[in-house]
């Protein structure tokens, strides 16, 4: 079975989502189904169909989260040895030459990747290029739009 890598923070967010689905969302959709059933003929009841569809989505997401959390390997970057190298869970500040600006990324597992929050997947091209690098290293990342050049400015393990 494939292992799922998660940071401690990512695992906590997934557990919180699972708890909300089980304690809030599931009971709400069950109540909505019961209310829709009370309206009579289910064959032409759009409310019933919508509630059943929502229930299927919720149950699928609960199963997915439980499955992933059961095989997850949780890595706390704050407890990792401070090697000075980019590792899973570390946050890297980079200077991007093409835009003449700084960018910051945390390298996380596939399930918690969120570019808007500055979290990139370990399997992404930039993360793969950064693993093992240290402060001051220059990194060339091959992208569909062409090569991008970065310099590692700092690495933190929070």
Is 71 in the same domain as 14? yes
122 in Cβ contact with 88 (< 8 Å): yes
For 149-153, which contacts have Cβ atoms below 8 Å and span 24 or more sequence positions?
A: 149/96, 149/97, 149/98, 150/94, 150/95, 150/96, 150/97, 150/103, 150/126, 151/94, 151/95, 151/97, 152/86, 152/92, 152/93, 152/94, 153/93, 153/94, 153/95, 153/102
Q: Which domain holds residue 14?
A: 4-75
Is 82 in the same domain as 122? yes
pLDDT in tens, 120-147: 999 999 999 999 999 999 999 988 888 8
pLDDT in tens, 12-59: 999 999 999 999 999 999 998 888 888 776 667 788 888 899 999 999
pTM of the model: 0.80
Domain boundary residue, one of 48, 75, 102: 75
For the chain, what is the domain count? Answer: 2
Predicted pLDDT at 154:
92
């Amino acid at each position: 079975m494939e292992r799922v890598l998660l940071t401690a923070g990512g695992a906590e967010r997934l557990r919180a989502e699972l708890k909300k689905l089980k304690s809030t969302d599931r009971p709400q959709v069950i109540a909505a189904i019961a209310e829709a059933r009370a309206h009579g003929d289910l064959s032409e009841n759009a409310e019933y169909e919508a509630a059943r569809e929502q229930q299927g989505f919720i149950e699928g997401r609960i199963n997915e989260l439980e499955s992933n959390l059961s095989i997850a390997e949780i890595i706390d970057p704050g407890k990792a040895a401070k090697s000075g190298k980019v590792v899973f869970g570390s946050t890297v500040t980079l200077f991007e030459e093409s835009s003449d600006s700084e960018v910051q990324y945390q390298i996380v597992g596939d399930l918690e990747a969120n570019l808007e929050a500055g979290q990139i997947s370990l399997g992404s091209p930039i993360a793969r290029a950064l693993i093992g690098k240290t402060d001051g290293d220059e990194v060339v990342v091959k992208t569909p739009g062409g090569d991008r050049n970065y310099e590692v400015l700092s690495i933190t393990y929070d």
